[in-house]
Amino acid sequence: MMNIPVKKPRAYFKWQNLVIMTTLILLLVSALPNFYSKQINIQLTPRSEASKPITPQSLKALLFKQEQQLAEISADKTHTSLVLSDETVRAQVEKVLQDNLAGQYVISSTLASNAPVWLQAMGGEPIKLGLDLSGGVLFVLDVDIEQALTERLTQISLSLKSMVMENKLRGVKVSGSGQSGIALTLAASSTGSLKPLLAEISRIYPELTPEKVTAHRLSLAYSEPERVKFRQQIMKQTIKTMRGRIEELGITEAVTQQQGKNRIRIELPGVHDPEQAKRIIGATASLEFYQLAANSRAMGVKHIRDENGRSLALNSQAVFTGANIKNASPGRDQMGAPLVNLTLDSAGGKKMSKFSKENIGKPMVTVFSEFYRNKNNEAVKKSKVINVANIQSHLGAQFSITHMPSLKEAQELALLLRAGSLTAPVTIVKQQTIEATLGADNINNGIKALTLGIALTLVFMMLWYRGLGLIANIALGLNLMSLLGLMSLLPGAVLTLPGIAGLVLTVGMAVDTNVLIFERIKEELKRGRKVLTAIEVGYKHAFATILDANITTLITGLILYAIGYGPVKGFAVILCLGILTSMFTGVFVSKALTNLAIRENKQKLLGVAP
């Protein structure tokens, strides 16, 4: 049988090998931070210059009574430092120090890596661990879409009342709001103004569908497609706001995703104070700025009482809302009173500039609103006036909210405003705290399973395929390292317990790729081809089969990622990334290694003589 001409193996040592080597080096370097542990550094600094840092002996005695273990302790002239190697005892140690030393010392803690300086300078970060591995808090939130729709229709109703009043449309009455929609009642003499009124409503509120109830009565409501669109917008805005609030809490490894139609799943790995997270995540605060109405009895005026019980009449339309706030920070005025400094976006800045220019010397009212659940588990909106101030000058995109009750309330309000206000009320329907010790057990068990699977696979490949089995084992090791590096590079990749199962599955998939190739090479050798020709043809013909099998598995993984959440999504991420790295190392890297190891036609390969 004639052998197909084949290029010399050296031809493969050009740009292909350069690309493979560069990719492997990048992935291996990005995987290195996973092999260095993190340690907790706690510093105790005296509150006054006259005080001395606490001695290591006193600190050891204090923590020994509490049965806490320290990895290292040191002291200098300015502060005392503790190093904890186990993050599971961090909360316990901090509590002991706060209870006994908070009045005398400032206690601060940081999380640092043991990685070399050069690796940290490159920005290398280890794989983010999911809730089931690192411990933390799980929240499931229910978003009240119906209440949000009711609030939206109420605002539209007030706006229509103002529109009727401004256009002096006599005989037109706006009534009703909520799920049933908005009703327009027309007197017999006002039917002529119906068409221009409806045209204006359609222009401003295209989502409303007018329906004729009687000859003199119309109903404005959301159609079913518009309700679906409204729900999607509310869920999207709520998820974005929740992510902003979590970032403000300093949690960078959280998972926030939609679960079902009206629920949001939030995983906060490493969080040890669930009450603080609950207070911020569950808040449904919003901020609105109103002008006092000129006529308190006019149609479409909102009435609200301030903290002194005085009734205020507000125009139905807010000058601008919290949605226009770009940044917010707490501070103090010249007298030391707490305040919140606001920075508006371009749209809010234009609104504020126009309004303040036309209303210098007139008051502007700041209203803070939030939803809460009453005893009947109904969402109730509670609004309060937090500021009534005269506009002293022409304002722009930056101004302040004064008269805050305390600096703590100013800080929390600034945090909520930075993260964004919620259109729909949310309710925490599930809260679960997972201890870090459980995560450590999961990691240990997962690593044992992975180690056992890899060991058996390596032994089988070496015994069955001998020299090529060694190449497959090297490619398998590079595959796992590449997968770790790829996960470290992707900001959204989180390793969960099912993800470890995905790692074990990746090992099998990577080996399966090499088995297909080696069996194909064996078939070519049995047909009488020379070794180098059989290797070239084996890799070429097996590639189509490998590609088909991996594409179908990749499609399954993408579907799991799209519709799954939590552990399912974690498994899908590892599965999809594992397919990519298995294809890369199982085909391209192993072929390069094969060409390096076998550079001439041997007498025998895989037990078959050519």
Do the beta carbons of residue 81 and residue 74 sit within 8 Å? yes
Q: Looking at the structure, tell me whether residues 211 and 308 fall in a common domain.
A: no
Q: Looking at the structure, tell me whether residues 547 and 444 fall in a common domain.
A: yes
Q: Looking at the structure, tell me whether residues 265 and 315 fall in a common domain.
A: yes
Which among 19, 251, 35 is positioned nearest to 124, based on CA atoms? 35
Q: Which of 172-176, 261-265, 270-274 has the highest mean pLDDT?
A: 261-265
Residue 603 maps to a domain = no
State the pLDDT confidence band at 371, using cuts at 50, 70 and 90.
low
- Among residues 380, 402, 431, the one where a domain terminates is 431
In 10 A of CB 23, how many CB atoms? 16
Do the beta carbons of residue 112 and residue 41 sit within 8 Å? yes
Q: CATH number of the domain that 212 lies in?
A: 3.30.70
State the pLDDT confidence band at 555, using cuts at 50, 70 and 90.
very high
Residue 120 maps to a domain = no
Asked if pLDDT for residue 389 goes beyond 60, the answer is: yes
State the pLDDT confidence band at 342, using cuts at 50, 70 and 90.
confident
| 3-state SS assignment for residue 141 | strand
Q: Looking at the structure, tell me whether residues 64 and 105 fall in a common domain.
A: yes
Residue 481 maps to a domain = yes
Parallel, antiparallel or unpaired: strands 208-214 and 255-259: unpaired
pLDDT given at position 2: 46
Q: Which of 75-79, 357-361, 375-379 has the highest mean pLDDT?
A: 357-361
pLDDT in tens, 120-168: 777 777 887 777 777 778 888 888 888 888 878 877 777 777 777 766 6
Residue 339 maps to a domain = yes
pLDDT (mean) for 305-324: 74
Q: Looking at the structure, tell me whether residues 342 and 409 fall in a common domain.
A: yes
508-527 residues labelled b (16+ CB within 10 A) or e (exposed): ebbbebbbbbbebbbbbbee
Q: Regarding predicted confidence, which is higher, 211 or 252?
A: 211
- Among residues 226, 243, 261, the one where a domain terminates is 226
Please state the domain count of the chain: 4
pLDDT in tens, 461-476: 888 887 888 888 888 8
pLDDT given at position 462: 83
Q: CATH number of the domain that 280 lies in?
A: 3.30.1360.200
**How many whole angstroms separate alpha carbon 582 and alpha carbon 577?**
9
**How many whole angstroms separate alpha carbon 569 and alpha carbon 255?**
10
| 3-state SS assignment for residue 548 | helix
Q: CATH number of the domain that 55 lies in?
A: 3.30.70.260
Share of the chain above pLDDT 70, in %: 79
Q: Regarding predicted confidence, which is higher, 325 or 547?
A: 547
Name 332's bridge partners.
338
State the pLDDT confidence band at 9, using cuts at 50, 70 and 90.
very low
Among 110-114, 191-195, 410-414, which stretch is predicted with the lowest mean pLDDT? 191-195
Which among 400, 240, 236 is positioned nearest to 333, based on CA atoms? 400
Asked if pLDDT for residue 517 goes beyond 80, the answer is: yes
Parallel, antiparallel or unpaired: strands 494-495 and 128-129: parallel
pLDDT given at position 6: 47
Q: Regarding predicted confidence, which is higher, 300 or 270?
A: 270
Q: Looking at the structure, tell me whether residues 406 and 443 fall in a common domain.
A: no
Q: Looking at the structure, tell me whether residues 468 and 381 fall in a common domain.
A: no
Q: Looking at the structure, tell me whether residues 351 and 251 fall in a common domain.
A: yes
Q: What is the CA radius of gyration of the chain?
A: 33
pLDDT in tens, 78-127: 777 777 766 666 667 777 777 777 667 777 777 667 777 777 777 777 88
Asked if pLDDT for residue 413 goes beyond 80, the answer is: no
pLDDT given at position 426: 82
Residue 526 maps to a domain = yes
Q: Looking at the structure, tell me whether residues 301 and 400 fall in a common domain.
A: yes
pLDDT given at position 276: 67
- Residue type at position 446: G
- How does DSSP classify residue 569? H
Residue 30 maps to a domain = yes
Tokens of 516: 């297909």
pLDDT (mean) for 562-571: 76
Q: Regarding predicted confidence, which is higher, 193 or 225?
A: 225
Tokens of 196: 């221009």
Among 131-145, 427-441, 446-460, which stretch is predicted with the lowest mean pLDDT? 427-441
Task: Tell me how far apart the terminal alpha carbons of the chain are, to the nearest angstrom.
Answer: 11
Q: What is the pTM of this model?
A: 0.60
Q: CATH number of the domain that 442 lies in?
A: 1.20.1640.10
Q: Looking at the structure, tell me whether residues 494 and 426 fall in a common domain.
A: no
Tokens of 6: 């084949």
Q: Looking at the structure, tell me whether residues 484 and 524 fall in a common domain.
A: yes
| 3-state SS assignment for residue 512 | helix
Name 111's bridge partners.
40
**How many whole angstroms separate alpha carbon 480 and alpha carbon 574?**
11
Among 136-145, 180-189, 337-346, 455-464, which stretch is predicted with the lowest mean pLDDT? 180-189
Do the beta carbons of residue 383 and residue 367 sit within 8 Å? yes
Residue 302 maps to a domain = yes
Structural domain of 285: 229-431
pLDDT in tens, 212-222: 766 677 788 88
Q: Looking at the structure, tell me whether residues 354 and 472 fall in a common domain.
A: no
- Among residues 197, 226, 255, the one where a domain terminates is 226
Residue 426 maps to a domain = yes
Do the beta carbons of residue 410 and residue 404 sit within 8 Å? yes
